[in-house]
């Protein structure tokens, strides 16, 4: 079991290196190495089943070989929902569907503003036409500006 764990972590490390300098020949080698690791018979039934299940998802798990710009992990996505989960645990959730929709919309805007380096309260002030609030471009314009 320790050998399989080590092989998987080495493979992950090499995927991170690949992202920095992708090459078709290296991608082929990594695909073949994936097969050697995840088609392995360890003698442990549960581990063998897990490896087989992961091997069935090969195309999805190795998408980075075709698109090196995508992340290897979901930490960013998990972080996006963390504040919602914390709020839900503290408050016990929402009472109505409208409350849930409002909470989800506001948290989505909050996260989007943070990613675009825009003050959330200034954004709200502009959208609610608060007197003296600074003007903030529309979200599509902000996204375009951030991408440029």
- Placement of tokens 């989800």 in the chain: 104
Could you give the maximum distance between any two Cα atoms of the chain, in Å?
Answer: 70
pLDDT at 33 over 60: yes
- Predicted TM-score (pTM) of this structure: 0.52
pLDDT at 22: 93
Buried b (16+ CB within 10 A) or exposed e, 51-76: beeeeeeeeeeeebbeeeeeeeeeee
Q: pLDDT tens digit string along 79-111?
A: 666 666 666 666 666 668 888 888 888 888 888
| Higher per-residue pLDDT: 72 or 129 | 129
Percentage of the residues of the chain whose pLDDT score is greater than 90: 46
pLDDT at 146: 79
Q: Which of 145, 114, 120, 148 is nearest to 133 (CA)?
A: 120
Q: Which of 119, 146, 148, 147 is nearest to 135 (CA)?
A: 119
């Amino acid at each position: 079991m320790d050998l399989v764990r080590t092989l998987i972590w080495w493979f992950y490390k090499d995927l991170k290196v690949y992202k920095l300098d992708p090459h078709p020949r290296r991608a082929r080698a990594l695909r073949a190495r994936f097969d050697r690791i995840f088609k392995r018979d360890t003698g442990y039934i549960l581990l063998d089943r897990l490896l087989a299940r992961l091997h069935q998802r090969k195309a999805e798990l190795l998408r980075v070989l075709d698109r090196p710009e995508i992340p290897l992990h979901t930490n960013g996505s998990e972080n996006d929902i963390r504040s919602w989960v914390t709020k839900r645990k503290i408050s016990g959730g929402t009472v109505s569907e409208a409350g849930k929709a409002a909470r989800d919309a506001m948290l989505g805007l909050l996260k989007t503003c943070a990613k675009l380096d825009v003050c959330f309260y200034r954004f709200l002030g502009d959208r609610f036409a608060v007197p003296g609030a600074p003007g903030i471009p529309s979200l599509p314009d902000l996204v375009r500006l951030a991408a440029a």
